[in-house]
Amino acid sequence: MLKFKLKEALKAVNGKYYGNLKYLESDILGVSIDSREIKKGFLFIPIKGERFNGHDFIASAYENGALCCFSEKVLNTDKPYILVESALNAFQDLAEFYRSLFSIKVVGITGSVGKTTTKELVACVLSKKYNVLKSKGNFNNQIGVPLTIFRLEKEHEVAVIEMGTNHFGEIRNLAKMARPDICIFTNIGESHLEYLGTKEGVLKAKSEMLDYMREDGTIIINGDDNLLPTLKGKGLDIISFGKKQSNFIYARGLRNIGLLGLSAIIGSKGKVLTDIFIPSPGEHMLYNALAAFSAGVALNLSIEQIKAGIKDFIPTGNRMNIINLGKIIILNDCYNANPASMKAALDVLATAKGRKVCILGDMLELGDNSKAYHFEIGQYACEKNMDIIIAVGELSKNIYDGAVFNCKGKTFYFESQNELLKNINKYIAVGDVILIKASRGMKLENTFNKLRELYN
């Protein structure tokens, strides 16, 4: 981390300083919200979380060598601290200041589906030319983004930062910290409708990123999306990508290679640029790759560099990670789910050879139409000729209902994951290809772990 003075932190957060004035000239050597990570010269920021209140660990932070702490209350200590109204807001204000110390390019990524995968692909491509910092995992919220910003070092040339939201105003706040030079929008779908109301509301929330885009910035959108092209009407300079040849970057000649991935020919303005191979299955991956291709073009990479970056992509975490255990193959995609991503995952499973088993859990935060969305997924699973459909969770009773009267395959329902795990060996056979998909809150990684334990 770049060093900065404690007095600069005080000014950035507009707090009230308590302690010996000499410390204001001291260098801050690191910033952390975890007292266990505090070292000599660090600044500790006590965030209030759902399970812990960071203020309970201020004493521990000082013991570990903290130069100073933020606090939302007056402390009984002779150690230096800065009194603030909100530790979280002060953390974000300080991150905004820290971002201002760098002249690097920042790529902001948002959308309803594919943010994290697109982030990984973009970083993979850009790393062929630049020293790239990217968000860890899905560090895309009000804490994750400032944590990413504080990982910036002087050697970084580009930062790729994912931005997520389920409430209005959140992405505006994230963009204020990150100040993106390039804004990428993957798509607008039925996610977080409980809070954002409609897809138009989702678009409004996502497009808040533009409020703090650099004046000479670049906007990259999925031109095949129903709503994103409406941004063009605002007089913005936009690079669009998609299958349609009206897009600035487009794909044709798509060839599906099953679970191995897919290939396509990429063109621009009627001219062929190159062929690409995407080492991850599903037609939806084409759009993620096109977003990364567009980012490479915007940041002046050669076609060969972009092509190599896409080819080197490796899926991460619980996002369509294909695990071949020998006896069975698992498509582990249990990190998150909404109707669009559910259908995309089922499309991938449909390309597999062998008996197709889908274990589908609740999709959360879908608002008033949640039951209908789940019912539709049950019907879609039938259309894709799944051999076994297992629905798990309270809302997923509607997946079962949508499937049970329409499917040629067998359909089962479990109210809880615990019940499923007690019986799962009854429904799985050697040679099966199994999709596991649900919203993060369902924790279906436990089902993945159980299958790995049984069949490894």
pLDDT for 159-202, tens place per residue?
A: 999 999 889 999 999 999 999 999 999 999 877 788 888 999 99
Which helix (H) or strand (E) segment holds residue 31: the answer is: strand 30-32
Say if residue 1 is exposed, middle or buried (CB neighbours under 10 Å; 0-12, 13-18, 19+): middle
pLDDT for 409-452, tens place per residue?
A: 799 999 999 999 999 999 999 999 999 999 989 999 999 999 99
Q: How many Å apart are CA 356 and CA 331, to the nearest integer?
A: 11
Strands (E) across 217-349 are located at 218-222, 238-242, 249-256, 262-268, 271-278, 321-324, 329-333
pLDDT score of 317: 67
Q: Please check whether residue 145 is in contact with residue 161, taking contact to mean a CB–CB distance below 8 angstroms.
A: yes
Band of pLDDT at residue 235, cut at 50, 70 and 90: low
Res 101 pLDDT > 90: yes
Sheet with 30-32, side-by-side order of all strands: 16-18, 81-83, 68-71, 42-44, 30-32
Distance of CA 112 to the CA centre of its chain: 9
Q: How many Å apart are CA 55 and CA 73, to the nearest integer?
A: 9
State the amino acid at position 211 in one-letter form.
Answer: D
What are φ and ψ of residue 105, in 5° steps? Answer: -85, 140
Count CB-CB contacts under 10 A for residue 61. Answer: 25
What are φ and ψ of residue 412, in 5° steps? Answer: -135, 155
Q: How many Å apart are CA 313 and CA 289, to the nearest integer?
A: 10
Query: What mean pLDDT comes out for the span 39-57?
Result: 94
The proportion of the chain whose per-residue pLDDT surpasses 70, expressed as a percent, equals 99
pLDDT score of 190: 78
Q: How many Å apart are CA 334 and CA 165, to the nearest integer?
A: 19
Band of pLDDT at residue 124, cut at 50, 70 and 90: very high
Band of pLDDT at residue 266, cut at 50, 70 and 90: very high
The owner of tokens 């941004």 is 231
Which stretches within 362-427 are classed as H helix? 370-383, 397-404, 417-423
What does pLDDT average to over the chain?
94
pLDDT score of 274: 96
pLDDT score of 233: 66
Q: How many Å apart are CA 70 and CA 13, to the nearest integer?
A: 10
pTM, 2 dp: 0.84
